[in-house]
Amino acid sequence: MNLTNQIKKKLSKFSDDKIITFKDLRSQMDKEINVDSFRKALHRLHKQGIITINGRGQFVKEEQFKTYLFVYGSLKKGFENHDILSDANYISQAKTLRKFAMYKEENHDYPYIIDDAQYGQNIDGEVYEITRQDILKRVDEFECAPIYFKHENIFVQTRSRKIKVKTYVLSSPRVPLNQKPLKSWVQNKRKIDIDFNAYYQSILG
């Protein structure tokens, strides 16, 4: 059994949300473990959503959490805001089974999707597995959900299967008169710095 799985087995004896110190857990292991190896294994468990490291030398065990997120704009690989999903697990390219109309937000370099029976298309994007609630919270904050965008559960087709995912749909649908609907977001792959305060002010008025 590898070290990560050994630690997971020990963690099963602890209750959820109980504060645990690295020192206490390491002392309960069956044999002496190198500190660096132990720390790396804990960081792998943090990324998997098994624990949340919340301070120097301590963490809490989390309830099991997993969701799939479909992204179609600036959160995709190679785009300027992809770093927000750096701790999520990339699954596959995908296409929505439900049809949406996608438009560029005027005066901003990101898209939004809305239900549109007349101009709807199967939207191209990517699916990510999220195993920590703090990652989804981070994306919600970036998307200004649920005020500007709202969650919707939809089905997408990946390269190998159909899967249920969350995605972000514009809360107050609008159709720009000067645009044709898009199928894929392919603009602006350069890295830019964003003033989030100014960004939220601009979209919320």
Q: Tell the residue number behind the tokens 């959503």, with chain if given.
A: 49
d(C-alpha 64, C-alpha 77), whole Å: 27
124 close to 183: Cβ distance less than 8 angstroms: yes
- Report the amino acid identity of residue 193: D
d(C-alpha 167, C-alpha 159), whole Å: 18
Count CB-CB contacts under 10 A for residue 164.
11
Q: Please count the residues of the chain.
A: 205
Burial 40-54 (b: 16+ CB within 10 A, else e): ebbebbbbbbbbeee
- Active site amino acids: 143
